[in-house]
Amino acid sequence: MSPNRRRPLVGGNWKMHFLREDATNFCGAFLAGGALPADVVLFPSFPLLPTVAEALEGTDVGCGGQDLHPEDKGAHTGDVSGPQLVDAGCSWVLCGHSERRHDHGESDELVRQKAVAALRYGLTPLICVGETQAERQAERTFEVLERQLRAALSEGPATFTLAYEPVWAIGTGETATPEIAQEAHRFLRDRLTEMLGEAAAQAKRILYGGSVNPQNADELISKPDLDGFLVGGASLDPEKFLAIIRSCGSDS
Ligand code: PEP
């Protein structure tokens, strides 16, 4: 890894997979993998959080929620608050994952409110942005990315990490080429430079997500504005997830 490079970060988004026993087995196998060239955070579903947080205790691997409600408590059936995530052992939370935006109609403004709520409790929001297939075909990719980014950050969180997740690549097996991913990451970093200044934008980690696997990770991470991955399907297999993380240590 080049000495000037931002330390990579890899997130594992387990979505609605695994029971407690699977989670425990995963953590055992994963932690046996030894030292890794990236920061790592797992995003299990809510009922698995205490199991995973306990298994990760005393390690460098972080634990995060897949969503949170902008309010701290109240009559919101089915939702989870920032204090509840912290109480369950989380230090991270996903905000604006495309499956939340599309399955649950989450707006850009709601994503901003969630990211701000996360920070109130010391949770780092991992804000996800990305265009649909139709938006890419209509050549609206940059317009969509800029809208989502500016909305999330206007009067938004001071601390955050960003993930570029083209919707057409999530769970489809169709990965963005390294060139397409780099172009989007570069665009996002340029916008961050306008919003936050050069030094802050250069320090920000921008993760790529969308059908990342051990075969395509090396080439993707070789691009200068990719600082790690948000991994869905392949994060359910400790060996595949470890292989993806290890790819972040090579300068291929
Ligand atoms: C994700 O859920 O954020 C994701 C990128 O999923 P997958 O790796 O399965 O495409």
User: In tens digits, what is the pLDDT along the chain, a chain of 252 residues?
Assistant: 454 579 999 999 999 999 999 999 999 999 999 999 999 999 999 999 999 999 999 999 999 999 999 999 999 999 999 999 999 999 999 999 999 999 999 999 999 999 999 999 999 999 999 999 999 999 999 999 999 999 999 887 789 999 999 999 998 888 999 999 999 999 999 999 999 999 999 999 999 999 999 999 999 999 999 999 999 999 999 999 999 999 999 654
CA proximity to 1, closest of 184, 228, 189, 194: 228
Distance 245 CA to ligand 1 centre (A): 15
Atom 1 of ligand 1, nearest CA residue: 232
Q: Of all atoms in ligand 1, which is nearest to the CA of residue 170?
A: 10
Q: How far apart are the C-alpha atoms of 222 and 78, rounded to whole Å?
A: 40
Q: Of all atoms in ligand 1, which is nearest to the CA of residue 163?
A: 3
Q: Which of 106, 131, 135, 165 is catalytic?
A: 165
* 165 tagged catalytic: yes
163 and 207 Cβ atoms separated by less than 8 Å: yes
Q: How far apart are the C-alpha atoms of 85 and 89, rounded to whole Å?
A: 7
The preferred substitution site among 67, 101, 174, 211 for testing ligand 1, maximizing ligand atoms within 8 Å of CB, is 211
pLDDT of amino acid 173: 86
Ranges of each domain in the chain: 9-16+23-29+38-247
Q: What is the pTM of this model?
A: 0.96
Distance 160 CA to ligand 1 centre (A): 19
* 97 tagged catalytic: yes
Q: Quick one: which H or E segment has residue 13?
A: strand 9-13
Distance 133 CA to ligand 1 centre (A): 15
pLDDT in tens, 72-131: 999 999 999 999 999 999 999 999 999 999 999 999 999 999 999 999 999 999 999 999
Tell me, using a 6 A CB cutoff, whether residue 209 lines ligand 1: yes
Q: Which of 97, 99, 106, 131 is catalytic?
A: 97
CA proximity to 106, closest of 87, 90, 127: 127
Distance 231 CA to ligand 1 centre (A): 5
Q: Residue 218 half-sphere exposure, CB side, CA atoms within 13 Å?
A: 6
Tell me, using a 6 A CB cutoff, whether residue 81 lines ligand 1: no
Tell me, using a 6 A CB cutoff, whether residue 233 lines ligand 1: yes
Per-residue b or e along 42-76, where b marks 16 or more CB atoms closer than 10 Å to that residue's CB: bbbbbebbbbbbebbeeeebbbbbbbbbbeeeeee
Fold of 9-16+23-29+38-247: TIM Barrel (3.20.20)
Tell me, using a 6 A CB cutoff, whether residue 12 lines ligand 1: no
pLDDT of amino acid 250: 66
Distance 74 CA to ligand 1 centre (A): 31
pLDDT of amino acid 4: 56
Atom 4 of ligand 1, nearest CA residue: 232
Tell me, using a 6 A CB cutoff, whether residue 165 lines ligand 1: yes
Query: Which residues, 6 or more positions from 198, have their beta carbon under 8 angstroms from its beta carbon?
Result: none
DSSP structural state of residue 177: P
CA proximity to 205, closest of 11, 9, 64: 9
